[in-house]
Amino acid sequence: MEANEERSFIIPLICTFFCLCVTIGGLLLVVYVFVPDLSRPWQPVAALALICSTWLFWLMAYIYACIKHCLFRPNDNDHKHPVAARNASMSVSSAHQGRCSA
């Protein structure tokens, strides 16, 4: 029960962090473009780093999911996939129905 409560707190925390990164990065870009007197040379670099951090996170999550799927795939002989078995039985039953109705 305790792990479930932790997960429900982590996701909003990560979403809030990414929202703050994008907002602060956007504000830095707005200040750099529209208020050149207050801008510093490091602002566009920091703004793009903050905005791109969310994209980098999702790209890394996608790469992790692909690698996990490729490396840790169960053997077809050991585990039967219930979706594939269900689709096969559905196609057999639909083919059987097609012959009976013709």
Q: Please count the CA atoms within 13 angstroms of the CA of 27 that sit on its side-chain side.
A: 6
Provide the pLDDT confidence category of residue 10 given band limits of 50, 70 and 90: confident
Cβ contacts of 46 within 8 Å, gap of 6 or more: 25, 28
The model's pTM is: 0.58
Please tell me the predicted confidence (pLDDT) of residue 52.
Answer: 94
For residues 64 and 76, the answer to whether their CB atoms sit within 8 Å is: no
Q: What is the mean pLDDT of residues 1-27?
A: 84
Q: What is the mean pLDDT of residues 34-61?
A: 93
Range of the domain at 82: 2-101
Residue type present at position 49: A
Per-range mean pLDDT, top range of 13-17, 21-25, 92-96: 21-25
Please give the tally of structural domains in the chain: 1
